[in-house]
A and B are shown apart, each in its own frame.
Chain A
């Protein structure tokens, strides 16, 4: 099952704008969210509000283990920032899915969704701390930078819709 987050912009009036947003705006907003999520994650920051920076790798304390263990294969991988990136496949698979009420952002490809869930929830069995990167639970929301980008994207879509009449 995919790991996903529903992005909803509440809007109750202005039919032509609503139609435009349904047709194009939601998709654009989803893409903006993914781009901003990647920026936050690349800097070691959880895109989920109140989760702060991702917890350090165990190898940082121990001096051995991941990611030091994969340095030969992935020379660019470093101890900091903790950025959920090794091959990059999981973050590359962040995607949007149009729904009736808006758009969902998440990791939908089954092989990558498994990986995503492990980061999202943590796995004490393999010493993997929780590094929450998708606001999937009730009450969770994106960090301010991302909610700002959603609002800006929404404003641009409204502007275009108004100009089209």
Chain B
């Protein structure tokens, strides 16, 4: 949600492959005259972005605008297929779309850091080679690149310490 809000404030779509058109000339003039920014940042009253939230689901989480502001959001997102006169400015990906790669990468890192905090240090005692270490890290942190696995270790002081205690630091 934080990344969405930061992107939107810069008038940039957080959705991969999407970019936003500039505001219509007349609307831009009116927006500025009313004291708002002339950039397409989806903000006038701010009520719609204030309503951005998330829900826990069985599979994970769902990010969206679910209440009385949902119709405004749909006007920009065009998920329902209902026509209106505003151009599409997606700030949440539709089915089949993704967030931009930097946002996706951060989400993956959050998940692997969570896993890194729960590594069983005892298993490290059986490791002798760099290949074994990365195989084990892949097993517990997920199928990530060697660089991402190494970074996950370095972002996690407890795991780094466990690796040092097991005498495996030079294998990283």
Chain A residues in 8 Å Cβ range of B160: 13-14, 158
A148 engages B157 (CB within 8 Å): no
Q: Which of the segments A42-50, A107-115, A127-135 contacts the partner chain?
A: A42-50
B43 within 8 A of A: yes
A80 within 8 A of B: yes
A42 to B6, CA, bound (A): 8
B113 engages A151 (CB within 8 Å): yes
Q: Which residue from B109, B157, B161, B169 sits with its C-beta under 8 Å from A9?
A: B157
Q: How many A residues face the partner with a CB closer than 8 A?
A: 37
A158 to B156, CA, bound (A): 10
A145 within 8 A of B: yes
Chain B 142-172 against A: per-residue CB contact (8 Å), 1 yes, 0 no?
A: 0000000011001111001100110001001
B154 engages A79 (CB within 8 Å): no
Known contacts A67-B35, A148-B109, A155-B154; A162 and B169 CB within 8 A of each other: yes
Using CB atoms, name the residue of chain B closest to A71.
Answer: B35
Q: How many B residues face the partner with a CB closer than 8 A?
A: 35
A78 within 8 A of B: yes
B155 engages A154 (CB within 8 Å): yes
A36 to B34, CA, bound (A): 30
Chain B residues in 8 Å Cβ range of A43: 5-6, 8-10
- Closest Cβ of chain A to B61, distance in Å, is 13
Main SS class of interface, B:
helix
A32 within 8 A of B: no
Chain A residues in 8 Å Cβ range of B5: 43-45, 53
Q: Which of the segments B45-53, B69-77, B131-139 contacts the partner chain?
A: B45-53
Using CB atoms, name the residue of chain B closest to A145.
Answer: B2
Known contacts A13-B164, A39-B6, A145-B3; A81 and B41 CB within 8 A of each other: yes
Chain B residues in 8 Å Cβ range of A60: 35, 45-46
B35 engages A59 (CB within 8 Å): yes
A83 to B127, CA, bound (A): 51
B161 engages A13 (CB within 8 Å): yes
A44 engages B165 (CB within 8 Å): no
Chain B residues in 8 Å Cβ range of A81: 9, 37, 41, 43, 46
Using CB atoms, name the residue of chain B closest to A76.
Answer: B37
Chain A residues in 8 Å Cβ range of B46: 44, 53, 56, 60, 80-82
- Closest Cβ of chain B to A37, distance in Å, is 12
Q: Contact residues of B with A, CB < 8 Å?
A: 2-3, 5-6, 8-10, 32, 34-37, 41, 43-46, 49-50, 106, 109-110, 113, 150-151, 154-157, 160-161, 164-165, 169, 172
Pick 26 A–B contacts, CB within 8 A, sort by A.
A10-B157, A11-B157, A40-B6, A43-B5, A43-B9, A43-B10, A52-B50, A53-B5, A53-B50, A56-B45, A59-B35, A71-B35, A78-B36, A80-B41, A80-B46, A81-B37, A81-B41, A81-B46, A145-B3, A145-B106, A148-B106, A151-B155, A154-B154, A154-B155, A158-B160, A159-B151
In the A-B complex, the 8 residue pairs with the smallest Cβ-Cβ separation, listed nearest first, are A43-B9, A155-B154, A80-B43, A151-B155, A155-B155, A158-B154, A78-B37, A145-B2
A59-B35, A145-B6 are known; give 12 further A-B pairs, CB within 8 A. Answer: A12-B157, A12-B161, A44-B9, A45-B5, A56-B46, A67-B35, A80-B41, A80-B44, A144-B110, A145-B106, A148-B110, A154-B154
